Amino acid sequence: MHDRWPGMTLPEDYIGCYESTSGVLKSEECLRAYQQLAKSHGADIIVNSEVRKIVAHSNGVTIKTDEEIFHSESLVVAVGAWAPKILAMLDLDLPLEPIRKTFAWFHANEKLYNHNNFPAFTFDTSDGTYYGIPSINGSGLKIGRHDGGKRINPDGCIEGFGELDEDEGDLMRFLGQYMPADQKMKYGKTCIYPMTPDEHFIVDKHPYYPHIAIAAGFSGHGFKFSSVMGEILSDLIISGTSKEDISLFSINRF
Ligand SMILES: Cc1cc2nc3c(=O)[nH]c(=O)nc-3n(C[C@H](O)[C@H](O)[C@H](O)COP(=O)(O)OP(=O)(O)OC[C@H]3O[C@@H](n4cnc5c(N)ncnc54)[C@H](O)[C@@H]3O)c2cc1C
């Protein structure tokens, strides 16, 4: 690993696993592509419109926003960190914990950390689990902490990056130990992971209303699976079943 990526400084007893087909998804471009595809299949996309109430009936659902009331035969609920609030409207109380997470971009020596010569990575260390992506078009090296974090209310006031001492401290400590080549922080951000106790997703039909499908608890690693999750969820509400084995994600395990 030292020979292949001289930007890494690793203890002698570390081992690495290289996935040659791995990469980085440009998430905003992915979302734009999904929206365009949905529209081309007849979907209406309504943005900035909060769902205030959902009422489940035996043969359909009623959904209220501030502007409109919708009636539907079926429903997919995928509301990220807000799942506990929305699922409570559907009589479900699942062990989902919204956790504040931090990540930041660092000025990087492009010879060492550019995407042409450095991989996306995750590090399982005795001080925590960290992940990162190389500098892409001069973006800088991105580093985040995957484990730990503080439980928060997603509708409450969430401390910005740097308001807690450990925000920058954690990332600097990781870099200092494993990628020490003169890194200075550009800027940091926070986001929310909705965590399940076993860190596996919840993707299933509602236990009392089979015409409602639920996708929740992606525990910080769901984006790369968005396309297959979309396929599974549409199959669940159209035919009631999925050709994929989704037993790992069942609601009943909680
Ligand atoms: C810092 C960070 C790094 C990550 N890195 C990775 C990674 O490297 N790889 C990976 O695979 N995944 C990663 N993830 C996880 C990934 O982003 C999530 O798993 C994925 O976005 C979950 O999708 P979702 O649709 O369930 O939720 P979200 O993407 O959170 O979308 C939920 C949507 O529901 C909307 N919503 C909520 N309540 C309401 C309401 N009442 N009415 C209307 N709309 C509502 C929200 O506004 C939001 O747009 C990361 C997440 C974070 C925060």
Residue 236: what pLDDT? 98
In a domain, 35, yes or no: no
- pTM for the full model? 0.93
In a domain, 16, yes or no: no
In a domain, 64, yes or no: yes
Query: Separation of 66 CA from ligand 1 center, angstroms?
Result: 23
Residue 156: what pLDDT? 92
Q: What total number of domains does the chain contain?
A: 1
Give residue 203's domain range.
46-96+198-253
Q: Is 222 near ligand 1, meaning CB less than 6 Å away?
A: yes
Q: Is 78 near ligand 1, meaning CB less than 6 Å away?
A: yes
Residue nearest to atom 43 of ligand 1 (CA): 50
Q: Which DSSP state fits 160?
A: P
In a domain, 148, yes or no: no
Give the ligand 1 atom nearest the CA of 49: 43
CB burial class (10 A; 0-12, 13-18, 19+) of residue 163? exposed
Residue 147: what pLDDT? 94
In a domain, 25, yes or no: no
User: Which among 218, 227, 233, 249 is the best mutation to test ligand 1's pocket, defined by most ligand atoms within 8 Å of the CB?
Assistant: 218
Residue nearest to atom 4 of ligand 1 (CA): 220
In a domain, 65, yes or no: yes
Residue nearest to atom 50 of ligand 1 (CA): 220
In a domain, 177, yes or no: no
Question: First CA to last CA across the chain, in angstroms?
Answer: 41
CA–CA dist 49, 66 (Å, integer): 7
Q: Are 246 and 204 in contact (CB under 8 A)?
A: yes
Residue nearest to atom 3 of ligand 1 (CA): 220
Provide the residue-wise pLDDT of the chain in tens; the chain has 254 residues.
989 999 999 999 999 999 999 999 999 999 999 999 999 999 999 999 999 999 999 999 999 999 999 999 999 999 999 999 999 999 999 999 999 999 999 999 999 999 999 999 999 999 899 999 999 999 999 999 999 999 999 999 999 999 998 899 999 999 999 998 778 999 999 999 999 999 999 999 999 999 999 999 999 999 999 999 999 999 999 999 999 999 999 999 99
CA–CA dist 7, 162 (Å, integer): 26
CA–CA dist 104, 86 (Å, integer): 30
pLDDT, tens digit, for every residue of 208-231?
999 999 999 999 999 999 999 999
Residue nearest to atom 34 of ligand 1 (CA): 79
Residue 244: what pLDDT? 97
Q: Report the DSSP beta bridge partners of residue 142.
A: 105, 133
CA–CA dist 29, 189 (Å, integer): 20
Q: Is 189 near ligand 1, meaning CB less than 6 Å away?
A: no
Query: Separation of 101 CA from ligand 1 center, angstroms?
Result: 13
Residue 192: what pLDDT? 96
232's tokens: 């599974």
Q: What is the CATH number of the domain that holds 79?
A: 3.50.50.60
Q: Is 79 near ligand 1, meaning CB less than 6 Å away?
A: yes
CA–CA dist 72, 70 (Å, integer): 6
Give the ligand 1 atom nearest the CA of 215: 26
Amino acid at 155: D
Residue 82: partners with Cβ closer than 8 Å, 6 or more residues away: 154, 155
pLDDT, tens digit, for every residue of 20-67?
999 999 999 999 999 999 999 999 999 999 999 999 999 999 999 999
Q: Is 51 near ligand 1, meaning CB less than 6 Å away?
A: yes
Residue 73: what pLDDT? 97
In a domain, 92, yes or no: yes
Q: Is 251 near ligand 1, meaning CB less than 6 Å away?
A: no
